[in-house]
Structure 1
Amino acid sequence: MTQAPSSPDHARFARAAEPGTQAPIHTSSQGLLAGPVKIPTQGGTMPAYRAAPATPGPHPVVLVVQEIFGLHEHIEDVVRRLAKQGYLAIAPALYFRLGDPAQVGSIDELMQQYVYKTPDAQVLADLDATLAWVDQQQSGSANPLGITGFCWGGRITWLYAAHQPRVKAAVAWYGRLEGKTSPLAPRQPADVVGELKAPVLGLYGGQDTGIPADSVERMQAALAQHGQGDSQIHVYPEAPHAFFADYRPSYRAHDARDGWQRLLDWFQRHGVRP
C-alpha cells in the first residue's frame, strides 16, 4: 500500500464511523483509468467505482464489496490499490436503491435503513450484473475473477464464493460468519460452506467483539468437515474489528499491511494474477 498525503476531511468517508487520528491512505490514480461508472441492473442504474491500469487489457478482475458504510473514499482507494497491482477492480454501490449510507449519522440508523432492507439475493444479483458489465468492457474476458469485501462485505464475499462459479479466489475481511437469519438474509456463511466454489481466505481480528473466537473456530471446523481444505482463516490476535480501515481508530497498520500481502499472495496462488 502506498502512503501519500490525504485530506483529513472525514465527510469523504462515512459520518457514522468515528474518524481516526491520522490521515488515511490515499492512492494516486496516476497511470490508471479510474473513476465512477454506471451499471445497468434490475431496479435501476447502479453507481460503481472502477480502476484499472491505463495499459491495454484485458486485466484480471477483482470485485470489491463495500463495508456497512457503503461506497465511499476508503473503498474507492482499495479499488485503486488493486489497480496499481494490475487488476481491473470495481466496487458497486450496493445500497443505491435506498440512498447514500455514507451520510447516515449512526450505526443503528445504517442497520435499520440499509442493512435490514437489502436482500442478499439482490446483492448477489447486483454483483452478477457488475461482472456482466465488466465482460462487456473486456470483450467477455472477466476471467480470472477474484472478490474481496470488508465487514458487511466480508459476509457477502463468503456468500458470493458459494454463488458464482466463475470466482477463482476470495478474501473476506472480518465478515460475520453466523447469526440470525431472516427472509432477506436466509443463510449465513456458515450455512454455505459445503457450496463454496472457490477457496476463501478469511482475515479476522482476535479482539473483534462482534465476531467471537468460537464463531471463527466453528467456521474453521466446518471448512474441514466439508472438505474445503483450500480455504483458511487467519486471525490477528490483538486486532479489533475493521483493522484494515485506515480512516478509523480501529486501524492496525502492521496487521493491515500483512493482510494486504496475504490477499495479493492468495490471488496469485489461485490464479487471479496480472
Structure 2
Amino acid sequence: MTLSTEKSTARPLSTNRIPQEAFDWYDEYAHGDIDRRTFLSRLGTLSVTGLTLSVVAGALTPNYALAEQVSFNDPDITATYVEYDAPHGHGKARGYLVIPKNVTPNNKAATVLVAHENRGLNPYIEDVARRLAKAGFIAFAPDALFPLGGYPGNDDEGRAMQKTLDGNKIEGDFMDAATLLKNHELSTGKVGMVGFCYGGYLTNALAAAMPDTIHAGAPFYGTPAKSNIDNIKAPLQLHFAELDKRVNDTWPEYEKVLKANKVDYTAYVYAKANHGFHNDSTARYDEKNAELAWDRTVAFFKKTLNA
C-alpha cells in the first residue's frame, strides 16, 4: 500500500481567490446537507474584493461546456445509448456505451463501468467514458435517473430526482450493468469500475457485492460499502482530496478492513484539492492533480485488466 500527498499548482486567478469556506459550503449543498437558499445566503456573507456573489456561485456551479476532452464525434470511438435489463434494479436501465473502433469479436477489450455522482449521467461523466474508450477500454456509464426520464440537463434538478430513488435499486442497476459488460460479445470478461463521489461509493459497493465480477476498482472520493466489505477481492486504487474531510474521515476504518483482508490497494491523497477535483466543469477542478489521478487510473486498469 502507498499513501502519498501530491503537491498542487494554484488554481486559476479567477478561482484561487475564492475562500475555502465557499468550497466547503458547496460540498454541503451538493450532497443535500443544506438547500440552495442557505448556500447562496452563506456565500453572501463573504467579503472578497472584486468577487461578487454571482461570480463565486457561477464559478462553483458546473459549466459542462468546459468538460469535453474527447468529442463524441471522435473517429477512434463509437458512442451510443443502450437500454438493458436490470432485474436487480428498476427492471429496465439505460447507459452510455463507448467502444473503441478497433475492437472486434476477434480483437476484444477489457471493460470499465463508470459511475456518476449524485445527479445522474451528466456530460462530464459521458466524457469520462469517452476518455476510457480512447485509452482502449469498452466503457459503459449507466444513468440512475433513467426510471425518471434520465438526466434532466441540470444538476440541481438531477440531484433532487436522484434523492427520490431507492438506493438499493440504483445499486442493482449498476450491478446488472457490470454483468452486461462481463458478458458483452466484445468483452474479454474483465470488468473494472471507476466512480466519482456517489459513484465512488458505488465502486466500493460493487467491489464488495460482486467480487467475482469486478476485477479492479478506482473510487474517487468515495465512501466505503455499507456491507460485505470482507468480500472484496479486487485490487483497488483509491483517490482522496486533502480538503475533503467528510469522505476522508471514513477512510481509516475502511483501510483497517482492507488490510485485515489482505486486499491489494493503493491510496493517494492530493494536496490542497477539494472533493470533486477531477470534475473539470467547476472551480473545484485541480488540473494537475486531476491529470495525475487520471493517468494513474488508466495505468491501473491497463495493468489489472489486460493481464
Q: Same fold (TM over 0.5)?
A: yes
Structure 1 residue 37 displacement after superposition = 1.5
1:64 corresponding residue in structure 2: 114
1:86-128 CA distance string (max 9 Å, x none): 1100011123223445446638x825x42363223x2333223
Deviation at 1:203, TM superposition (A): 0.4
Q: 1:22 to 1:93 in 2, by over 3 A?
A: closer
Residue 218 (structure 1) shift: 2.8
- The residue number in structure 2 matching 1:206 is 242
TM-score between both structures, scaled by the size of structure 2: 0.70
Task: Say if 1:38 and 1:101 are closer, same or farther in 2 by CA, change over 3 A.
Answer: closer
Count of residue pairs the alignment pairs up: 242
Unaligned runs of 5+ in 1: 1-13, 178-186
Q: CA RMSD in A?
A: 2.7
Once the two structures are superposed, the pairs formed by residues 27-46 of structure 1 within 5 Å of their partners are 27-28=70-71, 29-42=74-87, 43-46=90-93
CA change 1:255–1:34 in 2 (3 A) is: same
Superposed structure 1 runs of 4+ greater than 4 Å apart: 101-105
2:282 aligned with 1:245, yes or no? no
Q: Deviations over 1:196-242 (max 9, x none)?
A: 0211111010101432x4422332233223322x1232111211000
Counterpart check, 1:110 vs 2:159 = yes
Amino acid at match of 2:99: A
Write the mapping of 1:15-164 to structure 2, written as runs, cut at 5 A: 18-19=61-62, 23-28=66-71, 29-42=74-87, 43-55=90-102, 56=104, 57-103=107-153, 106=156, 110=159, 113-115=161-163, 117-120=165-168, 122-134=169-181, 137-138=184-185, 141-164=187-210
CA shift, 1:47, in A, is 1.7
Question: Corresponding residue for 2:232?
Answer: 196
| Cα contact 1:150–1:174 (8 A) shared by 2 | yes
Change (3 A) 1:236 1:152: same
Percent identity over paired residues: 26
- Native 8 Å contact 1:27 1:81 kept in 2: yes
Counterpart position of 1:268: 302
Q: Which residue of 2 aligns with 1:181?
A: none
Q: Which structure 2 segments of 5+ residues have no match?
A: 1-29, 31-35, 37-59
CA-to-aligned-CA distance 1:162-221 (integer Å, 9 cap, x gap): 1111211110001123xxxxxxxxx62xx543210211111010101432x442233223
How far has the Cα of 1:44 moved from its partner? 4.2
- Give 1:218's aligned amino acid: E
Q: Report the TM-score when normalising by structure 1.
A: 0.78
SS at match of 1:125: helix
Instruction: Tell which deviates more after alignment, 70-79 or 44-53.
Output: 44-53
